[in-house]
Structures are given as structure tokens and as C-alpha cells.
């Protein structure tokens, strides 16, 4: 599930980035083919690069961990008489609900697409065609508008059009066919099925349809009188479209089409081409470089431990850093020789990306402790980017929030509820003071089923917080969570409500 969520997030963020580039640099240009190629490239690149594991996390772009909450357990209520209620066994997973909503959206979008496609294919199968070179033409007095779909050209309300007007429509639709515009429409509709929740897809579709019409108009009017052609557009402008999967001659953006035909065409400025050629590859290169930094830091941190017994030389370095940056926090990790070298490499790469981060990682190798042992450490200053690195380590590298097989208490939630009911009591001083409220205890289920990293996320008063934390630390071992068949660490939150009213 992590993989799917990351792919959806990264692809949609990439689509938004490319659309922003288009609006800033290409929106006012009159080279319609170039603009169309850029948008198609944006769609394909966004889909492909996400599959190639170009990770957007840790680069100022939101990552999956920013949206995935820990797994929440059923709430336990501690009543005024000092006993705890049995937690219900029914759990509603936030991400299970999200998965269902997403699946329903995909199903509905796919159904709508299928209905439109079948309707269009049914019209094609029932129509009588006449040959026009490589194409097939249907003239109808019933269809409201004219459109094309691959090699099929439909001319609507032929009884109201002259022979010359029909030819102009045919010339226009032939451009759609030659330029394979129908493939663009199908691609966008298929993309909209899987990214139905993203309004950016609607903007892509709207812009590409406009470019299709601008390009077809420009080609169709080359050897014709522009005023006659504009008059034809105005004549059929108010007719609505019947098939959203087709290219429509009488599209509602008629006014824009007329204005665009009368606009003086100009070549795209060279500096814009240069910016695009530099900006787009740089976008992926920077992501790739920073992703490598993340991988290095992850590997170092996975093999490290929080340093408690720190050699004097390391302690002096920490004090020096705290004196120079009193508002900063520092984390000290003990690493082996190989990982200290990886940390130095990560620091070098990070400083090349952002020179201001040069002091965010300090590597101290082969420092002698009071027992004469040689040990290596890294001191990480908690800045914006290193915070993201540490979150990447703890949330996506070491501790999971979404797993294929969630961790469970041995014996189930009923047995855990019985344990809580037998051990948890309403603190007497809190009860006498009339205090009540909810305490949230976060903890991690390790790969061997043991529990660790107990933290009160939100408390009520010290006595109730301490009681909830005390009992949580007594929890028996769990069955560990599994990802791809392998035991992994998983984070949970247990809400405990202290309530005076029984």
C-alpha cells in the first residue's frame, strides 16, 4: 500500500509542477505543436519517473509520511470507580477508508468512460459511411455537432451547411486525425480514471483540447479566407458536444479560437527553450541526488544507536555547537567506521545541494571513551532538511505506519482489554481534583513483538499521563506487523479516556 500511495502522490505532484512550468513559460506562446508535445511529455514523464522510484520526499515536497497517521487502537475508557472498560474489537482504519473511497472513485470514473466509449462505438457501428481518401465520413441531420474519432468524421446538421462549409469542416477534422489528437483524448480520460481526485487533470484536458482546436484551425485556414472560416465557427458555435471522447469542430471555446487565428504568430523565444531544457532535467537530477542523500542517511541511521555514554571530546563538541546555536536541537548517533564514511559522503552531497547545510552534520571518528574504546559518532543539527532526513529514517525506513499485515496483540484486542482493565486505575488525586480527559500514548511494536518508544502524544495532567504510560509499558508482547512477508516495526497510538461520569 505504501508503494501505491507514494506513486499516486509523486505522480500528481509532478503533474502539478509541469503544469506550473507550462503556465509560466508557454501559456502565451503560439507554437501549438510544441505546447502540446510539452504537455504530453509532462504526463508520460510524471507517470514513468514515479515508477522509476524518483523519490520526492525530503526535497521540500510533501512525502507520504506527512499524510499517513499512526495506526489508532480502540479507545479505552477509565471510569471514576477506577476500572477500565473493555475496548471494542471493531477498528476502522483511516487508510482502509481512503482505499475504499479511491477504489469507488476509480470504478465510477471507469464506468463513465466505458459508457461514453460504448455509446460512441455504437454510433459508429450504426452509421452509413462514405469514403474520403483514408477517412470515413458520416453526414447526419440528427447529430448536433461535427467531430472526429480516429479515422471517422461525423458532420452534424448537414441540412444547414453548404458544400463549401462541409469541406471546411472535413479539412479541420482531417488535421485532428493526422495529428492523432484522439490518442491525446483517450490518454487524458484514462489518466482521469486513476487520478479522478486531482483537479490538475481537468486543467490538462481543457488546455490540450484548446491546443487541438487551435492547431486544427491554423492548418485548415491556411488556404482559405479567414473571415469565411470564422463565420462558419460562429454559425455552429452554440451547438453542444455529443461525445466527450471525440474532437469537436463546434467546441464552446469558439471565441478563443477566432482570437487565436487573428493573433500574429511568433516564434518561441530562445531563452524559454533554454530554461525548459535546463529546468526539467534539473528537477529530476536534484530529486535523484537528494534521494541518494536520504538513502545514505537511512542506511547510517538504521545501523546506529542513540548515544548515551558519550566520550568527553564528543560532549565538548556538542556543547560548542549548542553555544553557537542555542535555539537548535542536536541528535547524537553512534555509528561504525563504514557508516561514518557514508555520513561524510552524505554531508558533502548535501552541502553541494545547499551550502547552508554544511554544518548540519558533524562526523567525529575514532574518539576514545573512558574505557579506551575507539568509537565514531555523528551529530545532526535539526534543521528543516535534516528533520526531513530523520523523519525519512524513522517513518519510512525503520518504523512503518502503513503495512500489509498490521501488528496485533497476542490473544487479540479482547485480551489486551482485559489486561488494561485489570491494571489501569483512575489516579485518586486526579479524581478528587475533578480532572478528566483523554491521554494518547504512542508506542512502537518491534520486529520481535516487543514494545518500545512509549511517548504521551497528548496528556491531561501528570498523574493521569503517568498512569496511562505506566500501564502501556506493561503491555505484553504483540504479533509483529509484516511488510512483503518480513517482520517490520510499526507505530500505534492508544487513546485512553479518563471519565468521571460512569
Considering the domain architecture, whether residues 446 and 358 belong to the same structural domain is answered as no
Q: Does the pLDDT of residue 108 top 90, yes or no?
A: yes
Q: What is the DSSP letter of 333?
A: E
Q: Does the pLDDT of residue 25 top 70, yes or no?
A: yes
Q: Is residue 6 part of a domain?
A: no
Considering the domain architecture, whether residues 396 and 413 belong to the same structural domain is answered as no
Q: Kindly state the average pLDDT of the residues 235-255.
A: 55
Select from 268, 302, 333 the last residue of a domain: 268
Our measurement of the distance from residue 165's CA atom to the centroid of its chain's CA atoms, rounded to an integer in Å, reads 48
Under a CB-based contact definition with an 8 Å cutoff, are residues 172 and 216 in contact? yes
pLDDT category at 394 given cuts 50, 70, 90 is very low
Considering the domain architecture, whether residues 118 and 245 belong to the same structural domain is answered as yes
Q: Does the pLDDT of residue 111 top 90, yes or no?
A: yes
**Low-confidence winner among 259-273, 326-340, 382-396, 459-473 (lowest mean pLDDT):** 382-396
Count of CB atoms within 10 A of residue 270's CB?
Answer: 8
Considering the domain architecture, whether residues 387 and 484 belong to the same structural domain is answered as no
**Low-confidence winner among 292-306, 366-380, 488-502 (lowest mean pLDDT):** 292-306
Residue 57: strand, helix, or coil: coil
Q: Does the pLDDT of residue 128 top 80, yes or no?
A: yes
Considering the domain architecture, whether residues 303 and 384 belong to the same structural domain is answered as yes
Considering the domain architecture, whether residues 150 and 191 belong to the same structural domain is answered as yes
Helices in 136-162 by DSSP H: which ranges? none
Q: Does the pLDDT of residue 313 top 90, yes or no?
A: no
Q: Kindly state the average pLDDT of the residues 316-340.
A: 73
Select from 268, 301, 335 the last residue of a domain: 268
Q: Is residue 48 part of a domain?
A: no
Under a CB-based contact definition with an 8 Å cutoff, are residues 457 and 406 in contact? no
Considering the domain architecture, whether residues 149 and 248 belong to the same structural domain is answered as yes
What is the C-alpha separation between 10 and 12, in angstroms, rounded?
6
Considering the domain architecture, whether residues 393 and 432 belong to the same structural domain is answered as no
Residue 53: strand, helix, or coil: coil
Q: Is residue 220 part of a domain?
A: yes
Considering the domain architecture, whether residues 260 and 359 belong to the same structural domain is answered as no
Helices in 221-359 by DSSP H: which ranges? 226-236, 254-262, 270-302, 312-324, 337-353
Q: Is residue 78 part of a domain?
A: no
Residues 160-202 have pLDDT tens digits of 888 888 888 898 999 999 999 999 999 999 999 999 988 899 9
Count of CB atoms within 10 A of residue 433's CB?
Answer: 11
Q: How many structural domains are present in the chain? A: 3
Residue appearing with cell numbers 448536433: 144
Q: Does the pLDDT of residue 35 top 70, yes or no?
A: yes
pLDDT category at 267 given cuts 50, 70, 90 is confident
Q: Please tell me which residue, 360 or 146, carries the higher pLDDT value.
A: 146
The domain of 292 spans 282-400
Considering the domain architecture, whether residues 264 and 163 belong to the same structural domain is answered as yes
Q: Is residue 40 part of a domain?
A: no
pLDDT category at 124 given cuts 50, 70, 90 is confident
Select from 367, 400, 433 the last residue of a domain: 400
Considering the domain architecture, whether residues 433 and 372 belong to the same structural domain is answered as no
What is the C-alpha separation between 84 and 63, in angstroms, rounded?
38
Q: Kindly state the average pLDDT of the residues 312-336.
A: 76
Considering the domain architecture, whether residues 330 and 236 belong to the same structural domain is answered as no
**Low-confidence winner among 49-58, 269-278, 291-300 (lowest mean pLDDT):** 291-300
Amino acid at each position: 500500500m505504501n508503494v501505491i500511495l507514494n506513486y499516486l502522490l509523486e505522480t500528481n505532484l509532478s503533474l502539478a509542477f509541469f503544469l506550473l512550468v507550462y503556465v509560466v513559460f508557454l501559456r502565451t506562446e503560439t507554437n501549438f505543436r510544441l505546447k502540446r508535445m510539452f504537455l504530453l511529455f509532462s504526463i508520460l514523464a510524471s507517470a514513468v519517473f514515479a515508477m522509476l522510484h524518483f523519490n520526492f520526499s525530503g526535497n521540500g515536497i510533501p512525502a507520504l509520511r506527512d499524510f499517513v497517521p499512526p495506526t489508532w487502537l480502540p479507545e479505552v475508557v477509565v471510569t471514576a470507580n477506577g476500572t477500565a472498560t473493555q475496548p471494542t474489537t471493531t477498528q476502522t482504519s483511516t487508510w482502509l477508508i481512503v482505499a475504499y473511497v479511491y477504489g469507488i472513485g476509480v470504478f465510477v470514473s471507469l464506468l463513465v468512460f466505458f459508457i461514453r466509449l460504448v455509446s460512441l462505438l455504437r454510433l459508429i457501428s450504426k452509421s452509413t459511411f462514405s469514403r474520403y481518401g483514408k477517412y470515413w465520413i458520416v453526414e447526419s441531420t440528427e447529430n448536433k455537432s461535427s467531430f472526429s474519432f480516429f479515422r471517422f468524421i461525423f458532420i452534424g446538421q448537414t441540412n444547414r451547411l453548404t458544400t463549401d462549409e462541409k469541406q471546411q469542416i472535413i479539412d479541420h477534422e482531417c488535421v485532428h486525425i493526422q495529428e492523432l489528437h484522439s490518442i491525446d483524448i483517450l490518454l487524458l480520460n484514462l489518466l482521469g480514471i486513476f487520478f479522478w481526485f486531482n483537479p490538475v487533470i481537468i486543467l490538462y484536458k481543457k488546455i490540450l483540447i484548446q491546443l487541438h482546436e487551435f492547431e486544427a484551425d491554423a492548418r485548415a485556414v491556411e488556404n482559405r479566407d479567414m473571415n469565411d472560416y470564422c463565420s462558419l465557427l460562429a454559425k455552429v458555435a452554440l451547438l453542444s458536444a455529443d461525445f466527450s471522447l471525440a474532437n469537436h469542430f463546434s467546441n464552446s471555446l469558439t471565441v478563443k479560437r477566432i482570437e487565436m487565428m487573428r493573433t500574429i504568430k511568433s516564434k518561441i523565444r530562445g531563452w524559454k527553450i533554454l530554461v525548459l531544457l535546463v529546468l526539467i532535467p534539473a528537477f529530476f537530477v536534484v530529486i535523484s541526488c537528494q534521494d541518494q542523500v536520504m538513502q545514505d542517511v537511512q542506511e547510517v541511521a538504521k545501523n546506529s544507536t542513540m548515544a548515551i555514554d558519550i566520550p568527553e571530546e564528543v560532549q565538548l563538541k556538542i556543547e560548542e555547537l549548542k553555544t553557537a546555536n542555542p535555539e537548535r536541537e542536536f541528535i547524537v548517533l553512534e555509528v561504525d567506521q563504514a557508516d561514518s564514511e557514508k555520513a561524510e559522503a552524505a554531508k558533502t552531497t548535501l552541502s553541494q545541494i545547499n551550502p547552508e547545510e554544511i554544518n548540519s552534520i558533524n562526523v567525529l571518528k575514532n574518539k576514545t571513551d573512558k574505557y579506551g574504546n575507539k568509537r565514531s559518532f555523528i551529530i545532526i543539527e535539526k534543521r528543516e532538511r535534516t528533520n526531513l532526513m530523520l523523519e525519512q529514517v524513522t517513518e519510512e525506513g525503520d518504523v512503518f505506519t502503513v503495512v500489509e499485515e498490521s501488528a496485533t496483540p497476542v490473544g487479540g484486542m479482547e485480551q489486551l482489554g482485559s489486561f488494561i482493565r485489570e491494571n489501569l486505575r483512575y489516579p485518586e488525586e486526579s479524581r478528587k481534583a475533578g480532572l478528566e480527559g483523554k491521554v494518547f500514548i504512542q508506542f512502537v511494536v518491534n520486529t520481535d513483538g516487543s514494545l518500545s518508544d512509549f511517548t504521551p502524544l497528548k496528556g491531561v495532567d501528570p498523574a493521569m499521563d503517568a498512569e496511562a504510560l505506566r500501564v502501556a509499558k506493561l503491555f505484553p508482547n504483540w504479533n509483529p506487523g509484516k511488510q512483503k512477508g518480513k517482520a517490520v516495526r510499526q507505530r500505534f497510538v492508544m487513546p485512553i479516556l479518563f471519565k468521571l461520569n460512569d
